[in-house]
A and B are shown apart, each in its own frame.
Chain A
C-alpha cells in the first residue's frame, strides 16, 4: 500500500480533470489494482477543516507515512514572498509544500504550473509563482536545485497543460509499485519514456512536413501546421501523437498547432500579441527550427523538398 497525497496550488484544476479521465490505468485502478491509498485529493478528499489539518500534520510528523506527494499548480509566493495569496488549511500553501516535500518518499509535479511555473509565472508573474524545482528553464524553483525526496530522486516532473491522464497514472503506478528505479529522467526531470520523442513523432501531417506543404487555416486537413500556424511539434518533447488524447486524437490531428506545452518556456514569447498560433520568422525563416536543424540546412532541405513534392501532397487526401 502506498499513500498518495495530492494538493493544488496556483492552478486551474486541469490536471485533476485530466487525472480523473485516465484510462490506462484509471484513477480507480490505482486504488483497486495497484494498492494506492489516496489520503486526500482536492476533488476526492472527504476531510475538511480541522480534520484535514490533522491529516496534513500527521503526514508532516511521520505519524502517517507519505509515500507520494503530488502537487498540481504553482507555488504562490505573493504578496512579497509571504504566500498569503494562496492560503490552505490555515496557512500559506507554500509552507505545507515545503514540509510535505521534506517527508515524502517521492515528490511528483503535475502539469506545467507545478513543474516550471506555466502560465501563472509568465511575465510579469504577479503571483510570484514558481514550479517545484524549476522556474521556466532555470533550475531551482521553490524547493531549490539540490532538493531530493527521501527516495533520493529529485522532483519527478510530468509537464503539460494539462499533463496527459495516462502519463500521470502510469508514473504514479511505477512509483507506488516499487518500480521508480526504472524511471529515468531527462535534464528537466521529465520521465524519458514519455519525453524523449517529439510531438511530431506519429503526426499524421508528417508527409506535408516532408514536402513543405503548409496549412493556412485551423482545422484544414491538408498541410503542416509548423510553417505558418506556429506549431511547435518538431521541437517539443511529448508523446501526444503516440499516446493519443481520449484514445483517438491530438491537437495536430484535429488541425490545431502544438503549443509546446511540455517545454519549460511555455507559454512561448510571454504570450505577446501576435505570437500565439503564428510562426515567428526573421527574414522569412522560422525563428525556432526543428530540433537539431540549422538555418542553412533548413533552407536547402526546403528548396529540395518543395521541388520534389508530388501533386497529391497539395491536395486533401483524407476522406471522412
Chain B
C-alpha cells in the first residue's frame, strides 16, 4: 500500500510529465540531432547540461527530447530500453536529467 507521501510524489511526477509533453507538443525545439554517438559527444552534452541553469527547458533542449523514439543507425533509441530509465517509476535517472518520462520518448543521451 502506497503512503500518502508516495501518492503525492507520484501525482507531482505525473503533472511534470504532462508539462513536458505539453512543451514538446507545442513545438519546443530540442537538439535531437546529432546523437551522442561517441564518448566525447556524450561528455560534451553532459558538460553543457551541468553548465546550464538546470531548468526544465534547458534539460529538454540540450538533452534532445522527442515524443517518439528516434531510430538511429538501425537502433531504436526509446527511453524504455535506456539504461537510465526506471520502468516502474517511468523516470530518467541520469543525474543531469533526472526527469519523468514516457517509455516511447527519446533523447540523444540514450545508452543501452
Contact = CB atoms under 8 A, between A and B. Distances in A.
Interface of A: 212-214, 216-217, 227-228, 274-275, 278-286, 298-299, 302-303, 306-307, 309, 311, 314
B33 interface: no
Interface string B19-34: 0000000000000000
Given A214-B93, A302-B112, A274 B83 contact: no
Interface stretch (B7-15, B37-45, B48-56): B37-45
Nearest to B77: A284
A142 B7 CA distance: 66
Contact of A228 (B38, B81, B83, B86): B83
Contacts, number: 69
Nearest to B108: A284
Contacts of A213: 86
B36 interface: yes
B95 A283 contact: no
Contacts of A275: 39
Contact of B88 (A279, A284, A311): A311
Interface of B: 35-40, 42-43, 72-73, 75, 77, 80-89, 93-95, 110-112
A227 B111 contact: yes
Q: Is the interface of B mostly helix, strand, loop or mixed?
A: loop
A217 B112 CA distance: 17
A303 to B, nearest CB: 5
Contacts of B89: 314
Given A282-B37, A284-B112, A299-B75, 13 more contacts: A216-B95, A227-B111, A228-B111, A274-B40, A280-B39, A281-B39, A283-B35, A284-B75, A285-B75, A309-B87, A309-B88, A311-B88, A314-B86
Nearest to A269: B39
28 contacts: A212-B83, A213-B86, A214-B84, A214-B93, A216-B84, A216-B94, A228-B84, A274-B43, A275-B39, A278-B39, A279-B111, A282-B38, A283-B35, A283-B73, A284-B35, A284-B37, A284-B110, A284-B111, A285-B111, A299-B81, A302-B81, A306-B80, A306-B81, A306-B85, A307-B87, A311-B88, A314-B86, A314-B88
Contacts of B84: 214, 216, 228
Contacts of A302: 81, 112
Contact of B112 (A274, A280, A285, A314): A285
